[in-house]
Structure 1
Amino acid sequence: MADNSGTGSNGVCVTFKDCEDAIQNCPSSAPPPPPSCHTKDSVYFSVPFMQKLMAEILGTYFMIFAGCAAVVVNLNNEKIVSLPGISIVWGLVVMVLVYSLGHISGAHFNPSVTIAHATCKRFPWKQVPPYILCQVLGSTLAAGTLRLLFQEKQDQFAGTLPAGSNIQAFVMEFIITFYLMFVISGVATDNRAIGELAGLAVGSTVLLNVMFAGPITGASMNPARSLGPAIVSSQYKGLWIYIVAPPLGATAGAWVYNMVRYTDKPLREITKSASFLKGAGRS
């Protein structure tokens, strides 16, 4: 979820990415790019980038496995987990994964988040396709694992389906993904925010969204979350909603936050004339 698109300090420059980016992102300890690096056709590859892709696969896998497992167990055991329980599972798994993998890949685990960051120029467009591919792969592997664990009568569809009309589901997915990305932009891309609370804020937002939107749309907010179970179970009803609405909502949320932010000045400079803060300090 965080905006963490730079390379690590132990990068190894070979070939995969444009060399113009290699010169900017390659660590100083790595060998200089070869002479061919000055041509536009040359490409650049880094070990840290592969580590990011691995983190996205693992993070998405564990997020989908835990969240969808809560759904399946709830359906197979007389709804013992309940909606609040499922919401808590989704919120907690997102929170712990943001804290454990955010410093490696940015903890996107969601094509909507990746696309939204890219549209705001906080993430390179050339890394978007491999990120999305890894996210869908992780989701599909998680759904496949659950399918193997819960076979025959226990096999439940852990994907997302609209409970009402397609328009209702589309608007709901747009709004909750907008809300999620607005929060992510605030805590993960604004250096004035308290970065240590990013995982808690994002996880809490997911929990809230699942709590009220889960019975209506499944509260996907994530095309990969819907695609993985759909592919494994071959159930594609209303899938276009979960592929289109979340990226649109996330992009809108990121851009609206950028308009609200309006400046990158430190917080102390903005609040110098904030009388209510001064008054609160005296009381």
Structure 2
Amino acid sequence: MKQYGAEFLGTFWLVLGGCGSAVLAASVPAVGIGYLGVSLAFGLSVLTMAYAIGPISGAHLNPAVSIGVWVGGRLPTRQLLPYILAQVLGGLVAGGVLFLIASGKAGFDVSAGFATNGYGEHSPGGYSLWAAFICEVVLTGVFVLIILGATSVRAATEFAPLAIGLALTLIHLISIPVTNTSVNPARSTAVAFYVGDWAMSQLWLFWLAPILGAVAGALVYRLIAGGRD
């Protein structure tokens, strides 16, 4: 239960820190943090929680990562579903907290975005379904590969949180214009739930693509690692 509680809290922090920066601070006139600031916020949220709860649960904070770690042979099957449930619940609670904060400002309209992921007319840059799918699969795959490599027994694991946090920052710098960056089904669900409507109808992509990417990334890592990890 300590591991699942850690995943709940860690995912709560990821969503509140990352999505919170996008909703509350990205476009503030004159002092808004923009795409770069949001990218750093997601990276920093993972980095800080990886140091805080990594020794307890591994700090997956992401159903796709948990699936990738499972495929990589580092997570028992009996723990996979509880990890995912804890992450989704942590994200949903963070989304609720963010909704309460954001709705305290006059003119707030949750349907305008709320840091949701989307494609087509709901992509920040107007990218198509297939562009969004490819982007999410490839970036999640590389992310999982980096995680497995950085946390390998052959790596300098004390620096793993830094490598993982910077990787997530880079991923956001690449893909915010395409999908608003998911690579994390719990993060996507956490805000889509409160928007409803189109956000929920497009949510399937931000479960399917990251999971496929995670499985591919884990298999590639096992191939290049030679099964020795």
TM over 0.5: yes
Instruction: Identify which range, 156-165 or 130-139, moves more after superposition.
Output: 156-165
* 1:125-148 superposed Cα distances (whole Å, 9 cap, x missing partner): 111111111100000010110111
Aligned to 1:72: 23
Q: TM-score, normalised by structure 2?
A: 0.89
Aligned-pair CA distance for 1:161:
1.4
Q: Is 1:238 the counterpart of 2:202 in the alignment?
A: yes
2:82 paired residue number: 130
1:255 to 219, 225, 228: 219
**8 Å contact kept, 1:170–1:245:** yes
Mapped contact 1:73–1:81 kept (Cα < 8 A): no
Matches within 5 A, 1:117-266: 117-151=69-103, 153-156=107-110, 157-162=114-119, 163=123, 164-188=127-151, 190-234=152-196, 235-262=199-226, 264=228
CA contact (8 A) 2:7 2:61 kept: yes
Higher relative contact order (CA 8 A, sep 6+): 2
**Structure 1 residue 264: Cα displacement:** 3.4
**Which residue type is aligned with residue 101 of structure 1?**
I
1:94 is aligned, of 23, 26, 46, to: 46
Q: Tell me the residue number matched to 1:3.
A: none
> Partners in 1 of 2:209 and 2:183 — Cα distance?
8
| 1:55 matches 2:6 | yes
Q: How many Å separate the matches in 2 of 1:125 and 1:165?
A: 35
Moved over 3 A (4+): none
2: CA distance, partners of 1:118 / 1:80: 39
| Bigger helix share | 2
Q: Is the 8 A contact 1:87 1:210 kept in 2?
A: yes
Structure possessing the higher radius of gyration over alpha carbons: 1
Structure 2 CA distance, aligned partners of 1:147 and 1:249?
Answer: 30
Structure 1 155/81 Cα, relative in aligned 2: closer, same or farther at 3 Å?
A: farther
Give the deviation of 1:263 after TM superposition. 5.5
Deviation for aligned residue 1:153? 1.7
Alignment map for 1:37-52 (pairs within 5 Å): 50-52=1-3
Q: Identity across aligned pairs (percent)?
A: 37
Separation of aligned partners in 1, 2:72 and 2:117: 28
Cα offset, 1:239, TM superposition: 1.1
Supply the AA of the counterpart residue of 1:241: L
Across the aligned residues of Structure 1 and Structure 2, the Cα RMSD in angstroms comes to 1.5
How many pairs align?
A: 215
Does the 8 A contact of 1:179 with 1:253 survive in 2?
Answer: yes
- For structure 2, the residue ranges without an aligned partner over 5 or more in a row are none
Give the TM-score of the pair, scaled to structure 1: 0.73
